[in-house]
Structure 1
Amino acid sequence: MKWYEEKDAENDVIVASRIRLLRNLRDYKFPWKLEEEDAKRLTKELEEKLCGIGSLDGRSYQTWDLLTMTQTKRNALRERRMISRRAAKEPGYAGLICSADDAVSLTINCEDHLRMQISHAGSQLRQSWKEMDKIDDYINELYPYAFDDQVGYLTTYPTNIGTGMRAYLVLHLALLDSVSRFDDMVDEIGRFGLKLKPAFSSDRQLNGNMYVLYNEKTLGTSEEEILELLDKVGGQLASQERTLRDNSIEQHRLEVEDICYKAYGTIRYSKLMTLKMGMHLVSQLRWGQEKQIIRFKEYCNFYEIMMGMQEANLTAQNKTTGVSKQNQLRADYLRSCLPELVQP
C-alpha cells in the first residue's frame, strides 16, 4: 500500500503531511565543490551505508541512479514531490533511496549531500517528524553533520540554514480559494513566516484547488515551533474550508449535488480530457465524496488520481507523448479509476 492510500480522520481537507530535512556531511566538500570522481565515490558510499534504514521502520527500500533514469521517470518523481526540481533536471551523480510505499525518499549528493523526506496521509506532521528524526539520528551516528553552534545545520542554500527542515501540509481548499479575501489570507499567512502556494502547478487553473502550506523560515526557530505553527495555521484553514462546505450544502444542496453528478458524468463519458478540466472535475468529486453528496461503491482516492493524471506520470504509465494523445489517455485513465455510484 502506498502512503497516500492511508485513511486519516482529517484528510477531508488536510490531504497530506510531509517533513523534509537537508543535511551535509562535516568531513566532505559540499556537492557543488566535489570533483566528478569524488561525487561518484561519495554517492556509492552513502548508498551502501544507508541501505540499513529499513531496520528502523520495517519498510523495504530500493536504490536508484538518477543520472541513468529516464527524464520522464525523474519528472514523474518530481510531480509526486519525491525529488527536487534540480534532481529532476540536472541530477549529476545523485542517487535515490526510496521506500516501496513511496513514503520515504533520500536523495543523495544533489544540491546537498542528503535530502530526506517522509510523507503521511492526513494531519500527521508529528508522526512524520518522529519517523524522520529517527532516520536523521541513525545517519548522524554514521556521519557527523556540518553544523555550526550559532546558526545550526549548514546547507548549500542560505535559505535552508538552521533546522534545515521544511514541514508541509497539503490542503484541499475546494471552496476557500474562490472567496474574495483569499489572496489577502495568503498575504497574511506570509507574515507568520509561512507560505501557501498551489501544490501541483504555479498556475492555479491547473491545481485542482490543492495547496501546500509550509515554513519559509528555518533559521532562529526550532522544529517544534515550526510544527506547532503549521498545525495552528493549517487547522484554521481547514476549519474555514469545512464551514464553507457545510454552509454550501445547507443552503444550496441541490446545486452542489448537480455539480458533483455532472462532474461524474463528464469523466464517465469523456473521450478527451485536458489536465485543467480533469483537475477541476476531480476536485469537485473529492469534496463531494467527503461530504457524502455523491457516494461510490468503494472509497476513491482522488489525491492519488490527481498525481496519476499529471503529464509525466501519465506518460510514464503509457510511454507516449503528444498533447492530443495525452488528453485521450487522461480520459481513459480517469474512467478506469472512477468507481460505480451507489444509486440514490
Structure 2
Amino acid sequence: MVSKMDKTVVSTRIRLARNLKDIPFASRLTPDAKKDVRQKIKDAAKSLPGYSFDYIDMESLTTIQAGSMVEEHLISLEFANDRAGSGLLLDRKHNISIMINEEDHLRIQVIGKGEKIKKLYDIANKLDDELDEKLHFAFSENLGFLTHCPTNLGTGLRASVMMHLPGLHESGLINKIINTVSQVGLTVRGLYGEGSQPGACLYQVSNQISLGITEADTLERLLEVVSQIAQNEAALREKMLENINIEDRIFRAYGVLKEARLLSSQEFSKLLSDVRLGAEGEILNLDLRMLDDIFLKAQPYTLMLYGGENMEIRQRDVKRAELVRQALNK
C-alpha cells in the first residue's frame, strides 16, 4: 500500500557543515590557504575505503556546468556563483557530494529518493566520523561544531525533505503551513532553497535550528511535521481528484506534454506538476522516477549542458518540448 508520504515526498537530503580545527573560515583564507584546505580534504576523502570519490575543480567549470549541478541539487546556488578556490567531491554510487570551501571548509551532503531520511543521516554521519579522524573538525563543548554562519552552530545539521504540494499550493494554505512550521524551528522554501520559487509546486521543508537540539530530535521533529503536511495534502488532493475539472486538467497537461513543439520553463513546470499529480493519484500510469528525470533534464542549465551551451531561449523551448515528447512517447 502506498502511504501519504510516498505520494508527496520527492527526495530527502542531509547536509553537515564542518570546518578544520585552528584554520580560519573559508571567507578569510588566502588563495594559497584555500588550496591547502582543498588538498587536505581531497586527500582525506580519497583515502577512505568503501567510497568512490571523483574530484572536480570548481574553477574549471563553466557557468552552465555549475548551474546544472545546482539543478541536480549537488551544490548550492552560492557555491555555483562563487567558485574561486573551491572544489567538489562526488560519489555518485552513494549519492554523496562534499562541497569544499563554500561558507565552511566542507559540507557533506547525502541525497536520496523518498522519505528514508534516517538512513541518509547514518550514511552522512559515518562519513563525518571517518573524515573527522583524519581532518580534526573545529568543535566547542559549549557551541558544538563551529561554523561560519551562527545558524549552523551545534550539530551543523540541515535535514530537508522535498515535497510535491499542489493541493496546499492551489488552496493558498501553504502560507499557513509556512507560518506554522516556523514556530517549531522549521522552514519551508522553494525548489532551490532560500529565496527560490516553488517550481512545479515543489517545496523544501527543513530544520532551521541546530544548536541546543540533538540530531535525533531534529530528524524526529522534521519527520513529524512532514507527515502532518502529507496528511493535509492528501485530504486536499482527495477533493481535487473528485473534481472532473481537475481530472480534465491532468489529462490535458499530459496531452500537451506529449505533443507540444514549444515549452517554456514556466509552462513545463506547471504542466508537469499536473501530470505528477495524476501519477501520484493513480489516474495516470506513469513512473514517478521517470518524471523526476524529465524534470531535471528540462531545466535551463541542464538542457543547455546536453543540448548546446549557446542556445537562445526559444531554442531551449524547442529542445525542452522535444525531450519531453521523446520521454513520454516511449
Instruction: Calculate the TM-score normalised by the size of structure 2.
Output: 0.93
Query: 1:101 Cα shift?
Result: 4.2
2:259 match: 269
Amino acid at match of 2:179: D
For the pair 1:107 / 2:99, whether they are aligned, the reply is yes
Q: In the TM superposition, what are the counterparts of 1:244-255 in structure 2 within 5 Å?
A: 244-249=236-241, 251-252=242-243, 254-255=244-245
Aligned length: 327
For the pair 1:337 / 2:320, whether they are aligned, the reply is no
Match of 1:67, SS state, is helix
Q: In the TM superposition, what are the counterparts of 1:1-344 in structure 2 within 5 Å?
A: 10-53=5-48, 55-56=49-50, 59-101=51-93, 103-200=95-192, 202=195, 204=197, 207-249=199-241, 251-252=242-243, 254-296=244-286, 301-319=290-308, 320-339=310-329
Partner Cα separation in structure 2 for residue 9 and residue 301 of structure 1: 20
Partner Cα separation in structure 1 for residue 263 and residue 172 of structure 2: 29
1:3 match: none
Equivalent residues of 1:8, 1:121 under 8 A apart: no
Deviation digits for residues 154-173 of structure 1 (CA, Å, limit 9, x no counterpart): 11111211111100000000
Match of 1:175, SS state, is helix
1:4 match: none
Deviation digits for residues 114-152 of structure 1 (CA, Å, limit 9, x no counterpart): 111001111111001011000000001112111111111
Query: 1:84 Cα shift?
Result: 1.9
Partner Cα separation in structure 1 for residue 93 and residue 239 of structure 2: 37
Match of 2:24, SS state, is coil
Amino acid at match of 2:132: N
Structure 2: tracts of 5 or more residues without a match: none
Match of 1:105, SS state, is strand
Query: 1:28 Cα shift?
Result: 2.3
Deviation digits for residues 49-108 of structure 1 (CA, Å, limit 9, x no counterpart): 21134x34xx53211000111111111111222112222011111111111247110011
- How well do the aligned residues superpose, as a CA RMSD in angstroms? 2.0
Partner Cα separation in structure 2 for residue 87 and residue 152 of structure 1: 24
Match of 1:12, SS state, is helix
Q: Percent same amino acid among aligned pairs? A: 26
Partner Cα separation in structure 1 for residue 304 and residue 173 of structure 2: 38
Query: 1:248 Cα shift?
Result: 2.6
Partner Cα separation in structure 2 for residue 144 and residue 114 of structure 1: 12
Partner Cα separation in structure 2 for residue 114 and residue 322 of structure 1: 36
Query: 1:27 Cα shift?
Result: 3.2
Match of 2:97, SS state, is strand
Equivalent residues of 2:21, 2:137 under 8 A apart: yes
Structure 1: tracts of 5 or more residues without a match: 1-6
